[in-house]
Amino acid sequence: MLLDKCPHCETSHVQTSPRFEESFDAETNELVWGVIRCQNPKCHRLILVVTSKGIVQYIYPVGSFQLDPKVNISQEIRDDFREAGLCLSAGCYKASMVMSRRVLQRCLKEQGASQRQLVDAIDYVMKEGILRKPFHKVATEIRQYGNLGAHPDDDQLVNVNEKNAKQVLDFVRLLIHDFYEVPAAAENLRQEREGSK
């Protein structure tokens, strides 16, 4: 089967070979548990996949959510991002949202937005052009998920579901790409050019 992403090597659309497959419940046949092997020659590791009517429901291990160790990203951002991802995979959407908002706030702070409230920091990076235009629409939406209030009833976490928790995590991933990975890739290119002169 073609897997969206290998949780070990993170190769996208990786081909896998089946090793074992059996119905979880012999009565209903609804869930099928299978063990597959990643076909990336550098990986070849095993993954447990649970499918229903041929559609992947769960995989184990869940994604690693490790950011590229070669890119200069602070340990706090790495740890919080990883936890946001793991929480999402485990179905802990509120916890994931809390961690994603933390990563978001840290990323914006490192870009100069030191506002205490996340919504104010988002406004600032939009106004100052720190956040690129194509990101504005989704940033405005995420802004509405609000801040972490001091009181449990103020934090709007009651409205968190899988969809918006995933949206915030995806947005944070995009920002990490834009703020850290793109400049690092550009710097690598420059160094390569210097080296070949």
CB of 122 to Zn ion, least distance (A): 36
Measured between alpha carbons, how far is 119 from 128 in angstroms, rounded to an integer?
Answer: 14
Structure tokens at 44: 């070849």
Q: Please, which residues have CB within 8 angstroms of residue 80's CB and are 6 or more apart in sequence? A: 99, 102, 103, 106
Asked whether position 40 contacts Zn ion by CB under 5 A, the answer is yes
Decide: is 9 part of the binding site for Zn ion (CB under 5 A). yes
In the bound complex, what is the minimum distance in angstroms from residue 50's beta carbon to Zn ion?
Answer: 18
174 binds Zn ion (CB under 5 A): no
6 binds Zn ion (CB under 5 A): yes
Q: Cβ distance 54 to 34 under 8 Å?
A: no
Q: Which range of residues in 42-50, 74-82, 118-126, 145-153 is near Zn ion by CB under 5 A? A: 42-50
Asked whether the beta carbons of 110 and 96 are under 8 A apart, the reply is no
Assess 35 for contact with Zn ion (CB under 5 A): no
Should residue 46 be labelled a site residue for Zn ion when binding is judged by CB under 5 A? no
Q: How is residue 90 written in tokens? A: 């485990």
By C-beta, is 9 or 50 nearer to Zn ion?
Answer: 9
**Of these, 3, 16, 36, 38, which contacts Zn ion (CB under 5 A)?**
38
d(CA 178, CA 108): 12
Interface residues with Zn ion (CB under 5 A) are 6, 8-9, 38, 40, 43
